[in-house]
């Protein structure tokens, strides 16, 4: 065990890195585990990782051959897919922040390889222009505690639904403690007119709202 990891059982150890998009980011060792946090939110490898794991459990991952992740962060969902679910097929991950792409690689060992393609770009533009389809799409785009408004718009979801294969599912991490948000409620209503099944899970891990869209 590294000295930092060992000491973190006695007291949390944090280093900070400035990001143009998310303000001050914190990489914290606590009780032997490393986390990526923004000022008010856990971005990767903590509660967020558990929340997305719950989402994946609601899907039929065995039938999935390709995954698109919008909002790669430190890559904790990539770790979950590989370690907990033994998923070793294709993953395409989109992340707007080059500082975070670098943190994913240097701090958490998540970098491009034969099965992981990382695009450092805006997820909205990617979804608007991309033509490939995926069997599972995970939407986890946050700036600190909020999902930017554009990802709650019907236009974005019209673009996104084109990228879902005919048997594909979508996991949308929609809110932290704000599920009654009018924009989210409106979006849920819209999605129900577009897709076979829309399941809304509130207070996942006591905090987040996950929306899971399922194909027939």
Ligand X SMILES: C[S@@+](CC[C@H](N)C(=O)[O-])C[C@H]1O[C@@H](n2cnc3c(N)ncnc32)[C@H](O)[C@@H]1O
Dump the DSSP string for 66-134.
EEEEE--TT-HHHHIIIIIS---SEEEEE-S-HHHHHHHHHHH-----SSEEEE-S-HHHHHHH----E
Q: Would you count residue 141 as binding ligand X (CB under 6 A)? A: yes
Q: Which of 26, 122, 144, 202 binds ligand X (CB under 6 A)?
A: 122
Q: State in angstroms the smallest separation of the CB of 117 from ligand X.
A: 14
Q: Which residues pair with 44 in a beta bridge?
A: 36
Q: Would you count residue 48 as binding ligand X (CB under 6 A)? A: yes
Q: Would you count residue 94 as binding ligand X (CB under 6 A)? A: yes
The token pair at 62 is: 């065995």
Q: State in angstroms the smallest separation of the CB of 3 from ligand X.
A: 25
Q: Segment contacting ligand X (CB under 6 A): 57-65, 88-96, 177-185, 187-195?
A: 88-96
Give the nearer residue to ligand X in terms of CB position, either 7 or 85. 85
The size of the interface with ligand X (CB under 6 A), counted in residues, is 26
Residues 4-23 that bind ligand X (CB under 6 A): 21-22
How far is Cα 74 from Cα 109, in angstroms, rounded to an integer? 9
Max Cα-Cα span within the chain: 54
Binding site for ligand X (CB under 6 A): 21-22, 43-44, 48, 52, 71-77, 94-97, 100, 122-124, 140-143, 148
């Amino acid at each position: 065990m590294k000295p930092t990891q060992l000491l973190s059982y006695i007291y949390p150890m944090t280093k900070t890195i400035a990001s143009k998009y998310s303000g001050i980011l914190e990489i914290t060792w606590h009780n032997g585990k490393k986390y990526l946090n923004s000022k008010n939110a856990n971005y990767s490898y903590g509660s967020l990782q558990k929340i997305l794991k719950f989402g994946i459990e609601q899907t039929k991952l065995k039938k999935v051959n390709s995954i698109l992740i919008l909002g790669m962060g430190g890559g904790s969902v990539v770790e979950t897919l590989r370690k907990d679910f033994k998923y070793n097929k294709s993953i395409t991950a989109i992340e707007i922040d080059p500082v975070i792409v670098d943190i994913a690689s240097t701090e958490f060992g998540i970098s491009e390889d034969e099965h992981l393609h990382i695009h450092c770009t805006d997820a909205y533009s990617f979804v608007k222009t991309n033509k490939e389809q995926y069997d599972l799409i995970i939407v986890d785009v946050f700036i600190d505690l909020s999902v930017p408004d554009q990802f709650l718009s019907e236009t974005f979801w019209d673009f996104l639904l084109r990228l879902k294969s005919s048997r594909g599912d979508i996991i949308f991490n929609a809110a932290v403690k704000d599920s009654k948000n009018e924009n989210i409620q409106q979006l849920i209503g819209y999605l129900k007119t577009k897709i076979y099944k829309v399941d809304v899970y509130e207070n996942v891990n006591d905090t987040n709202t996950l929306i899971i869209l399922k194909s027939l």
